[in-house]
A = this chain, B = another copy of it.
């Protein structure tokens, strides 16, 4: 396996594929995707994780730190430092919840929306490439991913 490569093949090809299982495969793919996004949007000053968070916030869904933590399966402390960082950048604002003074929701500022937009512009070519390469199977892929997320959440919650 390590001595020579018959064709132009990627590392991923050479390794598995018997090793694989769904969870492992997700892990592996996501590393590549994460790197792809990081590289694509680097010059915007956001990384893949940050871009994703900015994206939900930009979508208009009000999110508390706890919501964010559940949504992205991150520990509360991690979300805390994200919010602090984003706020320091002037990209995010905390909006007090009048019903519960411990809590607040996180909102993008105008500057935050701009940053997200800029990152989005860098992101789109990469996404287009992938979508194009996937062709009709793209929808199917997303379906499988959503299903998987549902299953995983079930397990984590039980």
**A residues neighboring B (CB under 8 Å):** 1-2, 10-37, 39, 48-49, 52, 55-56, 59, 61-62, 64, 67, 70-74, 97, 105, 123, 126-127, 129-131, 133-134, 137-138, 140-142, 144-157
Q: Do B61 and A127 have beta carbons less than 8 Å apart?
A: no
B residues within 8 A CB of A24? Answer: 52, 55
B residues within 8 A CB of A153? Answer: 10-12, 32
Q: Do B31 and A146 have beta carbons less than 8 Å apart?
A: no
Q: Do B22 and A127 have beta carbons less than 8 Å apart?
A: yes
For residue A63, give the distance in angstroms from its CB to the closest CB of chain B.
8
Q: Do B156 and A36 have beta carbons less than 8 Å apart?
A: yes
Q: Do B2 and A64 have beta carbons less than 8 Å apart?
A: yes
B residues within 8 A CB of A105? Answer: 2
Q: Do A29 and B145 have beta carbons less than 8 Å apart?
A: yes
A-B contact pairs, 24 of them (CB 8 A): A10-B153, A11-B71, A15-B56, A15-B59, A21-B127, A21-B142, A22-B127, A22-B131, A23-B126, A24-B55, A25-B141, A25-B149, A26-B29, A27-B34, A27-B49, A27-B52, A28-B72, A29-B145, A32-B149, A129-B151, A133-B151, A140-B144, A141-B145, A144-B145
Q: Do A156 and B32 have beta carbons less than 8 Å apart?
A: yes
Q: Do B130 and A97 have beta carbons less than 8 Å apart?
A: no
Partner of A146, one of B17, B27, B145: B17
Q: Do A15 and B71 have beta carbons less than 8 Å apart?
A: yes
